[in-house]
Amino acid sequence: MKHILFISLAALAITAYGCGEPKLKTASVDRVLKAMTLEEKVHLVIGTGMAGFSGDNAAVGATKSIVPGAAGTTYPIERLGIPSIVLADGPAGLRIDPTREGDENTYYCTHFPIGTLLASTWNQELVESVGQAMGEEVHEYGADVYLAPALNIHRHPLNGRNFEYYSEDPVLAGKTAAAYVRGVQKNDVGTSVKHFAYNNQETNRTGNNAIISPRAQREIYLKGFEITVKEADPWTIMSSYNKINGTYTSQSYDLLTTVLRDEWGFKGLVMTDWFGGDDGAQQIAAGNDMLQPGTDKQYEQIMEALKDGSLTEAQLDVCVKRVLELVKRSPNVKGYAYSNKPDLEGHAAVTRKSALEGMVLLENNGVLPLKEVKNVAVFGCTSYDFIAGGTGSGNVNRAYTVSLLDGLKNAGFNVDDSQKGAVLKHIADKEAAFRASLGNDSFAVFFPAPRPSEFIPSPVQLAASAKANDVAIITFGRNSGEFFDRSAADFELSAKERELLDKVAAAFHTQGKKVVVVLNIGGVIETASWKSIPDAVLLAWQAGQEGGNSVTDILSGIESPSGKLPMTFPVNLMDAASSANFPIDADAGVYFLDRRKDIGQKDVDQTDYAEGIYVGYRWFDKQDLAVSYPFGYGLSYTSFEYSHPSVQNDGSTVTAKVTVKNIGSFEGKESVQLYASAPAGKLDKPVKELKAYAKTASLKPGESQELTLCFPVSGLASFDEEASAWVVDEGTYSFLFGASSRDIRCTATAEIAGSEMQVNRVLLKE
């Protein structure tokens, strides 16, 4: 008996620790690392390639055989039990192929609202629940790491990918991203927080050199990432394409090791953006642990550097170890039996409800919520063809998109849809003509078609429509996506859109009927010149696949809007400080990345972030410039009174309280913004900066709630470049409780002690 026990224990020891090959599932990462050959190590830090782009020897095709349509996979090493794990986009939902060859099943994913809408909810709990639903789809469709969230700062209104991003403010962006990561990762899958960092334009994004002061980097462009790392512990981070002060971010030791790991304590893995950077060996040396999707050239670069000693095996091992740690915690290595049947029905309800909370009511002269309205006339091509989200890697292969027309019909409104066939044909024809004009361009598939020009009904038709209907709704739409920045023309209403608005408004107003404009857009547009013409303007953003239902829920008053703007809507495009240094094209037509050579090299090769920390409301406040809608703005069907403001400082945390009362006649939620205004000190400071925010529960008329808003005292620090330190100036600070950045309802003050925290002198301008 003793013998048998001894033999079995010995056998166990051999499998776990002994002469057999260690397997990643059971053996320690260190043991697996020790058992790897140099070649295997180099392969492991490079992905499995992408057909047509990675070179002849790359193991392309691996991704396709596991989860078709996913963005990439890690390198498998069978003898050590290291499987390929699957990396798939985000951020508005999982992006995989909806159908598979020889398979009758479908693999649609839920298209949730775009990032900007989620930030407009100012509701971290809600964002977390959306993240949780997304993560369930990632898990149940067999992916391991979700390439989201995306949280670059909205530096300029025309950045083509702003729709994926959250805000012009780093605290709102960081808190939203942290909530999202917590939600996704509850499913035991990872996230990849992207694009780290300074990826604020699409034009020449793979070569652009962003010239940014250390202060602006730390206070604006890195802050959101820092919050996310510290509050949500993402499994991975994706470095960006661009350079920072002369060095590719994916090759920057300062960024990926000194700041991210040594200063912030990040413990996960860093991967490149797809094909980012130009030197695989430098990426490994910088702490960019995995290169995606991977190329033969990178393999050679790393091998060469190991041979000539410019990269050591010890440096390589650091990255290999992180890849092993990532694979070891993945559902795949644990053999998770995914169902391929996520709860799509449940998630349709999640997206419909979450979209409601991020829509922003910009204008309302009492027409909304619609009362005693039965017959509705809809105008604008987009009313028939709602835009669920943006294009490129942030697109989601959804089963359907509910248009405004269908949303209204679903809710029982009578909508004249006699034009539907003609409008849909008009849109399809435009799209086909656009595709044909692109010829054989291999990137054509990525080009978002411009919105079709608007139909203008004849005066007779308009008069008849105004007579037959109780209200008119016009939708204006805007597409945008990865690879492109928007043009200045895209910022303005087109002549046809303006004509449609004028004519519909004239016809309906003549008969005492009201007009509502719905904006189905992914980024900021001009509003100042026309916003007083309609009776209400609802900013619906791109609200995911249930968009038309969500808009209808707001219009009909199922819920009051409670979204607020996560960015400023300027009067003119050129009012934004960054307009002086952004690649603005008057009317770009369609240009793909580097093809926008016609605008010259300024802001293409190199972009000078000359405005420093004065991004968004920090700039408009400093200049005391009029805006069309300020940061944090949004109306409700009810109104709120703020009272009993107080602020306490215990030396480490600032705790602010305020009571919010619903003093109107409609149930609703209110988000309160806490801004700090610092005493005069050594550094030039913004007039005020967002430090915390909170949203009430749904308050019935007459109901009140006390909100508590906390943040660390260190959050009051500014970055002093001379001292290379975060400095909190001593003195009396004002804390402003705002319904928006320009609607401060009450104030409290607190004494704050001075402090200084030295950090590394890195990321300097050349």
**296 given a catalytic annotation:** no
DSSP 571-626: SSGGGSGGGGGS---SS--S--GGG-GGG-SBTTTEEE-TTTT--THHHHHHHT--
Work out how close the CB of 75 gets to ligand BGC at its nearest, in angstroms, rounded to a whole number.
Answer: 17
Under 8 Å CB-to-CB from 620, ≥6 apart: which residues? Answer: 568, 570, 575, 627, 630, 631
Give 63 or 673: the residue with its C-beta nearer to ligand BGC: 63
Please say which residue, 147 or 588, places its beta carbon nearer to ligand BGC: 147
d(C-alpha 240, C-alpha 232), whole Å = 20
- Closer to ligand BGC by Cβ: residue 445 or 586: 445
What single DSSP character describes residue 46?
B
- Residues 396, 147 contacting (CB under 8 angstroms): no
Q: How far is the CB of 642 from ligand BGC (least distance, A)?
A: 40
Please give the Cα distance from 477 to 483 (Å, whole number): 19
Nearer CB in complex with ligand BGC: 194/451: 194
Q: Choose between 142 and 407: whose C-beta lies nearer to ligand BGC.
A: 142
CA atoms within 13 A on the CB side of 55: 14
- Number of separate helices (H) and strands (E) present in the chain: 22, 30
Residue 221 DSSP one-character state: I
Q: Give the 3-state secondary structure of residue 99.
A: strand
CB 190 within 8 A of CB 139: no
Strand partners of residue 376: 415, 471
Instruction: Return the bridge partners of 194, or none.
Output: 150
Q: Smaller CB distance to ligand BGC: residue 146 or 582?
A: 146
The answer to whether residues 155 and 212 touch, using CB atoms and an 8 Å cutoff, is no
Alpha carbon distance 664, 666 (integer Å) = 6
Contact residues for ligand BGC, defined by CB under 6 A = 71, 89, 147, 194, 273-274, 393, 482
The residue among 89 and 720 lying less far from ligand BGC, judged by its C-beta, is 89
Backbone angles phi, psi at 261, to 5 degrees: -95, -50
User: What token pair was written down for 526?
Assistant: 């001009």
Q: Among residues 268, 278, 280, 112, which one has the least CA distance to residue 193?
A: 268
| Dist. CA 698–CA 638, nearest whole Å | 11
**Helix, strand, coil fractions of the chain, as percent rounded to 5:** 35, 20, 45
Q: Please say which residue, 385 or 482, places its beta carbon nearer to ligand BGC.
A: 482
Quick one: DSSP state of residue 88?
Answer: E
**Three-state SS for 732?**
strand
Cβ 194 to ligand BGC, closest distance in Å? 5
What is the smallest separation between the CB atom of 545 and ligand BGC, expressed in angstroms?
20
Give me the residue label for tokens 């002060």: 245
CB of 293 to ligand BGC, least distance (A): 8
Phi and psi at residue 506, in whole multiples of 5°?
Answer: -60, -45
Contact yes or no for 88/71 (Cβ under 8 A): yes
Least separation in angstroms between residue 24's CB and ligand BGC is: 25
Q: In the bound complex, what is the minimum distance in angstroms from residue 86's beta carbon to ligand BGC?
A: 12
Q: Radius of gyration of the chain from Cα atoms?
A: 27
- Minimum CB distance to ligand BGC, residue 146 (Å): 10
Place of tokens 């508590």: 708
Smallest gap from residue 393 Cβ to ligand BGC (A): 4
Cβ pair 276, 242 in contact under 8 A: no
Given the complex with ligand BGC, which of 205 and 513 has the nearer CB atom?
A: 205
CB of 47 to ligand BGC, least distance (A): 10
Using alpha carbons only, give the angle 30, 32, 36 rounded to the nearest 5 degrees.
115
Least separation, in Å, of the C-beta of 36 and ligand BGC? 27
Q: Could you give the angle at which helices 170-185 and 223-232 cross, rounded to 10 degrees?
A: 30
Q: Which residue number, 89 or 454, has a Cβ lying nearer to ligand BGC?
A: 89
| Selected catalytic residue, list 89, 144, 169, 273 | 273
Nearer CB in complex with ligand BGC: 87/590: 87
Compute the least distance from the CB of residue 396 to ligand BGC, in Å.
12
Q: Name the residue among 518, 503, 594 with its Cα closest to residue 550.
A: 518
Q: Are 160 and 592 in contact (CB under 8 A)?
A: no
Contacts of 562 (CB under 8 A, 6+ apart): 121, 357, 634, 636, 668, 669, 670, 671, 695
CB-nearer residue toward ligand BGC: 193 or 576: 193
Burial (CB < 10 A; 0-12, 13-18, 19+), residue 589, is: exposed
* Catalytic residue list: 273
